[in-house]
Amino acid sequence: QKEVEQNSGPLSVPEGAIASLNCTYSDRGSQSFFWYRQYSGKSPELIMFIYSNGDKEDGRFTAQLNKASQYVSLLIRDSQPSDSATYLCAVGSPDSWGKLQFGAGTQVVVTP
Amino acid sequence: DAGVTQSPTHLIKTRGQQVTLRCSPKSGHDTVSWYQQALGQGPQFIFQYYEEEERQRGNFPDRFSGHQFPNYSSELNVNALLLGDSALYLCASSLNSDLDFYEQYFGPGTRLTVT
C-alpha cells in the first residue's frame, strides 16, 4: 500500500511568520509531487508542483523535494490569515497513470 | 478560460438509491479523474477516464461506475447507496501527456449525503 503521510496539525503560525509543512511518501518510484490548498467546505486548489530534487519558489510559496529521503515540504513565507486552510500533499507515480495519492492534510491556522 | 464544473452542488439520497454526478473538464483538458473525500481525510482516487475508457481504477466496489463522453465530460454513477458513501465527490481534469496528466485541477465538488 503506497502511503503519503502528513502531520494533521493544527499548525498555529503567527501572522508574518514562516509556516513549514512536511510530507513523506513510501513509493520510491514517485516522480510528481503536488501541494493543494483546501479551504473549509471548498475543493482542493493546486498551488505548487515539483518534479526535481531541490527547491522551487512561486511567490510566497517554496516547495522542497528530497527523493533520497522521500520527503517533500512546503514553506509559506510572510503567512497571512488568508493562508489558514488545510494543505494536502499529493504524489504521482509513472505506474499509476495519473492516480494521485493524497495525504490526509495539515491544517494551518495563521493568528493575527 | 472555463474551469472544471460539476453538478449538482449538493445532493441528498436515501440508502439503496442510485445517483449520477456530472463533470465538465477544464477547457483543453481531455482526462477526467474522480475522487471521494470523506470528512477530515484526503481525496481517495475512484477512477480515471481517457478517450472514453476507464484507464485506472482505485479500490472502490463495482457499485461505482463511470462514463466519459466524446466532448470529454464525464459522469460518476453510484448504485445501491450506503450511508458510508456520504462524502464530497471531486472531479479533476488534466491533459494527457508525459507528465502533465499528473497536474490535476479540481472542480467545486458535489456534496452527497445518504440518509
pLDDT tens series, chain A, 112 aa: 669 999 888 999 999 999 999 999 999 989 899 999 999 999 999 999 999 999 999 999 999 999 999 999 999 999 999 999 999 999 998 777 778 999 999 999 999 9
pLDDT 10s digits, B66-96:
999 999 999 999 999 999 999 999 999 998 8
**Dihedral sign computed on CA atoms, order B58, B36, A97, B33:** positive
Say yes or no: B48 contacts chain A, CB-CB below 8 A. Answer: yes
Give the confidence band of B101 by pLDDT, cuts at 50, 70, 90: low
Q: Which whole-number Å values give the CA distances from A9 to A22, A104, B43, in the listed order?
A: 11, 10, 18
Reported as a pLDDT band with limits 50, 70 and 90, residue B2 is: confident
CA dihedral B101, B104, B110, B115 (to 10 degrees): 80
Query: What is d(CA B39, CA B37) in angstroms, rounded to the nearest whole number?
Result: 7
* Rounded CA separation B67/A53 (Å): 37
The CA distance from A86 to the nearest CA of chain B, in Å, is: 10
Name the residue among A46, A100, A105 with its Cβ closest to that of B45. A100
Question: Using omega within 30 degrees of 0 as the cis cutoff, is the peptide bond preceding A10 cis?
Answer: yes
Residue A110 in grid coordinates: 495563521
User: Residue B106's pLDDT band (boundaries 50, 70, 90)?
Assistant: very high
Structure confidence at residue A98 (pLDDT): 79
Under an 8 A CB cutoff, do B31 and A51 touch? no
Q: Would you call the peptide bond into B8 cis, given omega within 30 degrees of 0 as the criterion?
A: yes
* Tens of pLDDT, residues A59-71: 999 999 999 999 9
CA A6 from chain centre, in angstroms, equals 8
